[in-house]
Amino acid sequence: MPAEIHPRLQPVFDEFLARNPGEKEFHQAVYEVLVSLTPIAGKKPEYAQWSILRRMCEPERQIIFRVPWMDDEGTVRINRGFRVEFNSALGPYKGGLRFHPSVNLSIIKFLGFEQVYKNSLTGMPIGGGKGGSDFDPKGRSKAEVMRFCQSFMTELYRHIGEYTDVPAGDIGVGTRELGFLFGQYKRITNRYESGVLTGKGQSWGGSLVRTEATGYGAVFFVEEMLRARGEDLQGRRIVVSGSGNVAIYAIEKAQQRGATVIACSDSNGYVVDESGLDLDLLKDVKEERRGRLSDYVSERGSSCRHVTNGSIWQVPCDIALPSATQNELGVDDAKALVGNGVRLVAEGANMPCTPEAVEIFTQAGVPYAPGKASNAGGVATSALEMQQNASRDSWTFEDTETRLGEIMRAIHTRCAETAAEYGNPGNYVMGANLAGYLKVADAMVAQGLI
């Protein structure tokens, strides 16, 4: 790992490692935050014992459960369900559900840990949590997905509530799945409790802009990073990895702002479209038909090429938006990007850059935004959805998008000012981690030994 933990914090990390053996993604996320706390190590007397930090590395509650369901052939299938309720100092646990075969406790804990600081940074009254399952929705029929969601909620319902824990979507969980989950919650509890889930459909309590929010928010954050350097998005060449919800709406907003998005990817490879991706076709393939990028390529014709082996980060660009999944961008990718003159990197996904890749960007002086800052627009708009549900109101698209823009600008300011205050101007990782951490820590100090 590149940077060093302050010697006063090393015992906290050693204790944490011993308590969470083998959970490498969780180790990585905690390590990054501990390194960022260097400027306050030994300074803030109220945190002198680091008992706050030790508590913050331990989730308040971890729930693991069996999810039995029946496939279309009548075969019984078993998956594992998770909900890690990490920290409720600032509000009810808040964070998405991920359905993907790679899901395990380490991944949910890293995501939950990150979510605590991300949610703190938004300035909204939300704690942090995360959940999901190793269920693989790929190739499953709609009926199978519904039966899985119903079984998942049959256990989850007892742990959640609008004042307790408010799940949303993440990889593999979108409006369709949230609909099945909400329907089952309503059936079991006999309550139309809109605020128990976010990312809902328009007609049943969802907020406008929630679908677009993570991708739009990432681009708003990039605009702030550029503005701080006297630049803008006009005419920039952008590469976005992934082609899910985050990627699609990052592409949309970047195009609206006059940038050219030339590449995106899925698990089978990536597509390069030098004249700019055809977003309508991409949405049709991915959102309507739940298809693959190979379908996009065959329908788009000669203007684009499909690369099925190799890394999307070999494609020269001005701005890189890794928006697929954790640890997708490593050392060789970072070297290729820097070698090709990348000017800025901002994470749309959670922890897509390895620590070694981040170190390469830092050494090269390439501004880099960690996901907990640049992808916070999704959860921030979830908090706006909770506000609308609480007041039984629904806001216009323009109004909600304006608020999202204000929130992203405020997050940028918070990160930039905190980094400068603690002697590391331009270091968004340190700014995000310190600002996020200090707010949660202050609330925990105020609330006693919790």
Interaction site with ligand GLU (CB under 6 A): 94-96, 168, 170, 198, 350, 378-379, 382
Cα separation of 18 and 190, whole Å? 44
Write the DSSP string, 183-240.
HHHHHHH----GGG-SS--GGGTPPTTHHHHHHHHHHHHHHHHHHTTT--STT-EEEE
Least distance from C-beta 317 to ligand GLU, angstroms? 24
Supply angle C-alpha 123, 127, 132, rounded to 5. Answer: 125
Helix (H, G, I), strand (E, B) or coil at 133: strand
Residue 244 to residue 246: CA distance in whole angstroms = 6
Beta carbon of residue 372, minimum distance to ligand GLU (angstroms, whole number): 9
Closest approach, Cβ 96 to ligand GLU, in A, equals 3
The residue (of 349 and 366) whose beta carbon lies closer to ligand GLU is 349
Output 168 or 264, the one with its CB closest to ligand GLU.
Answer: 168
The DSSP secondary-structure symbol of 327 reads: T
What DSSP line would sit under 33-68, residue for residue?
HHHHTGGGTTT-GGGTT-HHHHHHTS-SEEEEEEEE
Structure tokens at 116: 């605590």
Task: Name the catalytic one among 94, 130, 200, 286.
Answer: 130
- Cβ 378 to ligand GLU shortest distance, Å: 4
The whole-angstrom separation of Cα 76 and Cα 293 is 32
The smaller minimum CB distance to ligand GLU, of residues 128 and 431, is found at 128
Closest to ligand GLU by CB, 95 vs 215, is: 95
Which residue is closest to ligand GLU by CB? 96
Phi/psi for 59 (5° steps) reads -60, 145
Q: Please, are residues 234 and 200 in contact by the beta-carbon 8 Å criterion?
A: no
Q: How far is the CB of 170 from ligand GLU (least distance, A)?
A: 4
Q: How far, in Å, CA of 409 to CA of 221, rounded?
A: 7
Length of the chain: 450
Rounded distance between C-alpha atoms, residue 369 and residue 157, angstroms:
35
CB nearer to ligand GLU: pick between 96 and 367: 96
Phi-psi bin for 229: left (phi > 0), alpha (psi -120 to 50), beta?
alpha
Would residue 130 show up in a list of annotated catalytic residues for this protein? Answer: yes
Output the smallest distance, CB 443 to ligand GLU, in A. Answer: 19
Which C-beta is closer to ligand GLU: that of 67 or that of 379? Answer: 379
Q: Which positions are catalytic?
A: 130
